[in-house]
Structure 1
């Protein structure tokens, strides 16, 4: 499968600690900066496919607003898996119930290239 280089945004549109939501190459994408580095992830939590755009960004990670799973925004690595319900923290014994049998998964990330003042994704 051939990767396509797609213009995503102007560099000044991508802000630290905030998501810029785009639909690119048929995928819903979130762009942000982590310590000045532009990153792009799919706007879809791998737990149930719900959007991450309203998730909290903290220390380079996003937390799903629905079930509390958190992911590293640069690598996509899962940090925590299903520890909340509709944003409310739940006791540890409920975490496997909330997961609905799904094992922790990484968030889909996209390769970012900055060229001058423009941001491109390889998709």
Structure 2
């Protein structure tokens, strides 16, 4: 794994994303209860950007299909509950999922050294 400097520690804040493009990867940085997190800026459902999503209670919700992911682990919490932010009934959720099973979003190991934030790709 390659260790890459991606930000200054003061640039990464609770409840906000820092968007980083490095080595062909789009990465989101944030803090959750003081802990740094790094995840791919790509919803595993259709590949749309998670960086536009809402952060709440340690999760990010995809603004396009309502899938929610744990910011620290990438674990899927909810899968395709909405369409463009509007809640949909259960039978419609399966159609929106397009046959894809729930998936986690990729996360990256993150380290702080001095005042720099690094991720490992």
TM-score normalised by L of structure 2: 0.98
Residues 1-123 of structure 1 mapped to structure 2, 5 A cutoff: 3-123=1-121
How far apart are the structure 2 equivalents of 1:26 and 1:37?
25
User: Residue 93 of structure 1: CA displacement?
Assistant: 1.7
**Secondary structure, counterpart of 1:110 in structure 2:** coil
| Total equivalences in the alignment | 121
Task: Tell me by how many angstroms 1:5 deviates.
Answer: 0.3
Question: Per-residue deviation at 1:119?
Answer: 0.3
User: Structure 1 segments of 4 or more deviating over 6 A?
Assistant: none
Secondary structure at the counterpart of residue 98 of structure 1: helix
Aligned equivalents of 1:35 and 1:24: distance in 2?
A: 25
Unaligned stretches of 5+ residues in structure 1: none
Deviations 1:14-59 (A, max 9, x none): 0100000010121000000000001000000000000011100000
